[in-house]
Amino acid sequence: MYLLTSEVIFGYTSVRSLIVSASCSVEHLRRVSDSAFVLRFSVDPGIPFTPGQYVSVGPSGGIHMREYSIYSPPGGSALEILVKEVEGGYVTTRLARLRSGAPLSVDGPFGFFTLDEQWREQRHVFIATGTGISPFHCFVGACDGLEYRLLHGIRRVDECYEYEWYDRSRITTCVSRGGGGDFSGRVTDYLRQEAAEGRLDREARYYLCGNCDMIYEAFDILQEHGVPHSHLFAEVYY
């Protein structure tokens, strides 16, 4: 089924989406840590999307669907999503068991967490917790020469999902339990430290993605230190 949505103006970004409801099939599932995996599925005839958008995914034939940012850049015949397997979670525990060829229900694309074309050449700061890194993986894969820093908040170092895709010198990993990252503590502790040392980039555009506690706290820190509200964009996962 196809449904053409109206054009929506959000900030300076305008997105026109063709919502597709498709039955897709799993190409493969690749483990990126003990509790996270990338699910790659073929979509025929394809889902055109803007980097930063998400799809709604669920086991085929069921009524339970969940939202997942698109991890892979546009252009291929398959889509990838990066999924954290939530203990006792209804959909993630089922997706984690899928094998190649298994059918899957997919709707989308949805959402407006997209880059502003007018700002392509300017500085961006991406702030993620856990699998909230997914839309940034898509941005980086889709936009050559993107000027970005990525602050990634994780509990343990095994959540450095596929860092080989990024310019490592642009990532600051904040590890809250145990060491091994660039910074020991939460990503908001790191932001607070940057602000206290006068190193916060007030001119950049900030994109925040992941759990809502991090997003609320980071918004407060950034706004208290002079980053205008119009430079803040967020995608809340849970």
Ligand X SMILES: Cc1cc2nc3c(=O)[nH]c(=O)nc-3n(C[C@H](O)[C@H](O)[C@H](O)COP(=O)(O)OP(=O)(O)OC[C@H]3O[C@@H](n4cnc5c(N)ncnc54)[C@H](O)[C@@H]3O)c2cc1C
Residues near ligand X, by CB under 6 A? 54, 66-69, 81-84, 86, 89-92, 130-131, 134, 235, 237-238
Burial class (CB in 10 A: 0-12, 13-18, 19+), 163: middle
Smallest distance, ligand X to C-beta of residue 148, A: 18
Shortest approach of ligand X to residue 238 CB, angstroms? Answer: 4
Report in angstroms how near the CB of residue 55 gets to ligand X at its nearest. Answer: 9
The answer to whether 41 and 68 are in contact (CB under 8 A) is no
Judged by beta carbon, residue 188 or residue 194, the one nearer ligand X is: 188
At 73 the three-state DSSP class reads coil
Shortest Å distance, C-beta 136 to ligand X: 11
> By C-beta, is 83 or 204 nearer to ligand X?
83
Closest distance between ligand X and the C-beta of residue 34, in Å?
A: 14
Of the pair 136, 190, the CB lying nearest ligand X is at 136
Residue closer to ligand X (CB basis): 38 or 200: 38
Cβ proximity to ligand X, 69 vs 194, nearer residue: 69
Annotate 108-146 with b (16+ C-beta within 10 A) or e (fewer): bbbbbbbbbeebeeeebbbbbbbbbbbbbbbbbbbeeeb
Strand partners, 104: 24, 59
Torsion (CA) 42, 129, 137, 161 in degrees, nearest 10: -80
The answer to whether residues 54 and 79 touch, using CB atoms and an 8 Å cutoff, is no
